[in-house]
A and B are shown apart, each in its own frame.
Chain A
Amino acid sequence: MKNSSSYTAVAYLFLAPALILMAIFTFWPVGYNTYLAFQDYAIADGTATWNDFAHFKYIYEEELFHSALKNSLLYLLVVPCIQLAALVIAKLVNNKLPGMTFFRATYYIPVITAISVAGVAWAFVYKYDGMLNGFLTWIGHALGMLQGEFTRVEIDWIGNPDIAIYSVMVFTFWKGLGYYMVLYLAGLQAIPAEVEEAAILDGANAWDRFWKITVPMVKPTILLCTLLSTIAAMKAFQEVIVLTKGQSDTYTALFYVYDQAFRNYNFGRAAAAGLVVTFFCMILAIIQFRFFGDKK
């Protein structure tokens, strides 16, 4: 072994670029954000003054922030839907039938398209004279539920405050499905084929096999994916930017942060709200790490 202090120096030299960049762009923001949360930041000259928890008092009172937090918690509804659908799809493509590569690739397409461009396409699907209503009109006519040749279904999917947040959630579901499918596929491929074959011989039907064999055997993957998608749901806000820009009751917690920072230019208040969101994310992560703890 060579001289150990120069060996350590080499190791740190290799790590230096990563550590320096992470220090500037990942670790420093955490500290600085916490500092900003207690200050009034003037964007023009960059001065910050202590304001005696004013931001926290403000957002504690504010209706908009409450509704943003409520929407973010409501967003967690996406988690079970996306997990179940992704697992079912992974199960459907996990075999050697012809065309599986094609279907896997097809399901992954929403994941690899830019959220902004996909959002524009969905805004066209959702608008009151858009494709979704066109499709529902066609169904309505086919079933004879709509009278008159030119009547159309006119639901404003992203303009109506009662349903807009759910429409945004469907978009998140569409965008994330393929990502979790691939993770589940990796989990499913680790299950030996004999297990399932034995169950088929014993006469178990597809439903039983799914719940009694597949689900228990991919449990570690389910936990990982649930953790990932829970944090992603808490952090959802780019969907809101591209679909509704926060109109019709669709503020989520991080959209509030973004909105305060880059529309109101109130960096201090944005930081304070961001700190609250970080706190919620940490709690969720800790709860789920308890689950993981048993596994390792």
Chain B
Amino acid sequence: MAMSKSVRQALGLTGHYAGLIAFAIFTTFPFVWALCSGLSVDASKMYTFPAGFWPHEPSFMWFERVFQEMPFLTYLKNSTIMSFFTIIGVVAISVLAGYPLARMKFPGRGLIFVAIIATMMLPSEVGIVPNFITLKHFGDFGNWIQESIGLGSDWNMRAWIGLDSYFGAIVPNFAGAFGIFLMKQAFEAIPQDLIDAARVDGATEMQILWKVMVPVTAPSIAALAIFTLVNAWNDYLWPSIVMTSKEKLPLAVGVFNDLTGPFATSDNILMAAIVMTVVPVLVFFAFTQRYFISGMDGAVK
């Protein structure tokens, strides 16, 4: 049957957008629902469809209650501190390690690179038990230093580097194959002339790295920093194992514990808390989303 071309095109386009919208509903409905329930004073319609997807008597009352019922700002502060230092650590280590792997010739380079890439295949979760024990020893070591140099027990150095420390929660994530690989790829794309010119001028390797390579690879470094921020901000498992004191928990762990713990009161507060945890990430993502696509692109190649 002959259908006119424009009708067929319009039908195709409608189908196309219908598919897109269906998937968009699937990926966002839990958060849209959480937002509507968090805004509704009246909780009775929360679990009915379609009424649950519309705020009833909208107000911010549940959001204010979140601040009273859980130390939200403390968690926010912890997440910020931990993410900040994780980014510094990951970027510094990946840049330093990526440069010699990409642009220097030295014995053992191939072996080291293969060893680093091979760690991507290991189920890293199996390392949680040994790392837990290692950090316990770190804590004992801190305590031993403190006693040997005769500092008072109020220094409590065990809590600096052992279990239940910011150090313990973030340092195991510093050296990752992904970051090193991403920076190596970025450094390899830089023309050799640039490095040769700097060498002729008598620059040391550190100066080449810092003054030539880092400025030129800024987009890759930004992509790495953004990926690291999202991973660190959302990291749940390891901090939930290492951190035991409530005032050191990051958002992903603290909010989860409070939401599912014995003090969980009203479902609407939970929904408001979910929204408040997700929103910072979404705002950040809205400004940086093009890096996610381009950064992944670089890593795939």
Task: Please give the residue numbers on chain A whose beta carbons come within 8 Å of chain B beta carbons, in ascending order.
Answer: 7-8, 10-12, 14-15, 17-19, 21-22, 24-30, 32-33, 36, 46, 88-89, 92-93, 97, 99, 101, 103-110, 112-125, 129-131, 133-135, 137-138, 174, 177-178, 182-183, 185-187, 206, 221, 224, 231, 234-235, 237-238, 241-242, 254, 257-258, 261-262, 267, 270-271, 274-275, 277-278, 281-282, 285
Contact = CB atoms under 8 A, between A and B. Distances in A.
A131 B49 contact: yes
B93 A116 contact: no
A92 B123 contact: no
Contacts of A114: 233-236, 251-252, 256, 277, 281
* Residue picked from A11, A33, A116, A221, most chain B C-beta under 10 Å: A116
A294 B260 CA distance: 49
Contacts of B97: 14-15, 17-19
A116 B253 contact: yes
Given A17-B174, A26-B122, 15 more contacts: A14-B100, A14-B205, A17-B92, A26-B175, A30-B127, A36-B130, A92-B16, A108-B289, A114-B252, A117-B277, A121-B271, A129-B47, A135-B49, A182-B293, A242-B236
Contacts of A182: 292-293, 296
Contact of B26 (A27, A120, A174): A174
Nearest to A17: B93
A274 B13 CA distance: 50
Given A17-B92, A109-B285, A183-B300, A28 B121 contact: no
A22 B289 contact: no
Contacts of B251: 114
Given A18-B180, A21-B174, A108-B292, A26 B104 contact: no
Contacts of B136: 46
Interface stretch (B29-37, B141-149, B154-162): B29-37
A131 B121 contact: no
B96 A11 contact: no
A36 to B, nearest CB: 7
B20 A108 contact: no
Interface string B192-208: 00000000000011100
Nearest to A181: B23
A104 B24 CA distance: 9
Contact of B93 (A21, A134, A281): A21
B129 A36 contact: yes
B234 A113 contact: yes
A274 B297 CA distance: 33
Contacts of B124: 26
Contacts of A101: 289
A27 B124 CA distance: 10
A186 B298 CA distance: 9
B123 A254 contact: yes
* Residue picked from B93, B174, B206, B285, most chain A C-beta under 10 Å: B93
A106 B252 contact: no
A186 B297 contact: yes
A32 B271 CA distance: 42
6 contacts: A14-B99, A21-B171, A21-B172, A107-B24, A116-B256, A271-B129
A55 B227 CA distance: 39
A103 B278 contact: no
Given A14-B96, A106-B28, A121-B274, A29 B126 contact: yes
B101 interface: yes
Contacts of B132: 261
A97 to B, nearest CB: 7
Given A18-B96, A33-B127, A186 B300 contact: yes
B50 interface: yes
B293 A112 contact: no
Given A25-B175, A177-B27, A7 B92 contact: no
A89 B20 CA distance: 8
A235 B122 CA distance: 10
Contacts of A242: 236, 256
B114 to A, nearest CB: 13
